[in-house]
Amino acid sequence: MAQAIQRIADNLARVRERIAVAANSVNRDPSEIQLIGVSKYVGVEETAALLQSGCLDLGESRPQQLWEKAESAELASAKWHLIGHLQRNKVRRTLPVVHMIHSVDSLRLLEAIEQCASELQRPTQVLLEVNCSGDRAKHGMTSDALRRLLPSLADLNHVSACGLMTMASLKGGPDVAEQNFADLRKLRDTVQSECPSGIQLRELSMGMSQDFEAAIRAGSTMVRLGSILFEGVQI
């Protein structure tokens, strides 16, 4: 396990270097980009190694896996991000252990989070997921649905909408991915003026292991990286 721990630490250092290079290439400060280590493919030991290497923000796609890892004493210092689809019947159990939900894709889900956050007295940060690729297999709102949802943000007392999230198309390669990311940034910039007073959509959660550099060039403030951090590690 010692060898695996060192490999994970080395992977993390290399990734941080690549984040810095991508940010500097477009005159951005690398400190503006938050790295979220996605641990959905690995167990508690490997996740703990990533945490011990300095990656304190961890992400899971499935609520059940997030619940299980959040209960582990080895991972007690982590800040958990739910980056995958959340069903309304899993909201109540998720809120007490999550730092941010990246995948709010409907008004009904937003209202369910607000209700549970109110009952639990648990202020919650969320991102609004937009399907910029048009892929039918992906979750996320259309840009029109996002616009229709924005006025409802004024009614939230326990939920803070902090920005937008998207996933690039699985087809088309890096050029298409970069266009998807640019589309989200442009959408954010356009709809910011339509938001209720006090709502600032500062965060853009976009970019995964295969396309995070393109996402950074397009304006991402959060990259969600999994497999690249565990390369060479025997799972």
Quick one: average pLDDT of 169-192?
91
- For the stretch 34-68, pLDDT in tens is 999 999 989 999 999 999 999 999 999 999 999 99
163 forms bridges with which residues in the sheet?
127, 203
Angstrom CA distances, 165 to 3, 43, 50, 160, 226, stand at: 35, 26, 24, 14, 17
Residue 21: the pLDDT is: 98
CB 69 within 8 Å of CB 95: no
Inform me whether the pLDDT recorded for 165 exceeds 70: yes
The Cα 125–Cα 95 span in angstroms is: 10
Residue 42 CA to residue 68 CA, distance in Å, equals 13
* 8 Å CB contact between 51 and 73: no
Is there a contact between 213 and 228 (Cβ–Cβ < 8 Å)? no
Query: Looking at the chain, how many residues does it have?
Result: 235
Domain coordinates of the chain in residue numbers? 58-71+79-225
Residue in the structure block whose two tokens are 């009614």? 155
Q: Quick check: 152 pLDDT over 90?
A: yes
Express as a percent the part of the chain with pLDDT over 70.
99
Residue 162: phi and psi, rounded to 5, are -105, -10
HEC string for 71-119: CCHHHCCCEEEECCCCCHHHHHHHHHHCCEEEEECCHHHHHHHHHHHHH
Phi, psi (deg, nearest 5) at residue 128: -95, 120
User: Alpha-carbon distance 83 to 60, whole Å?
Assistant: 6
What is the enclosing helix (H) or strand (E) of 205? Answer: strand 203-205
Within 10 angstroms of residue 134's Cβ, the number of other Cβ atoms is 10
pLDDT at 122 over 70: yes
3-state secondary structure of 148: helix
Q: Which CATH number fits domain 58-71+79-225: 2.40.50.140, 3.40.50.300, 3.20.20.10, 1.10.3370.10?
A: 3.20.20.10
Q: CA–CA separation, 112 vs 131, rounded Å?
A: 21
Say what the alpha-carbon torsion angle 23, 138, 189, 185 is, to the nearest 10 degrees.
20
In 121-180, which ranges are E strands?
A: 124-129, 159-165
Residue 89: the pLDDT is 97
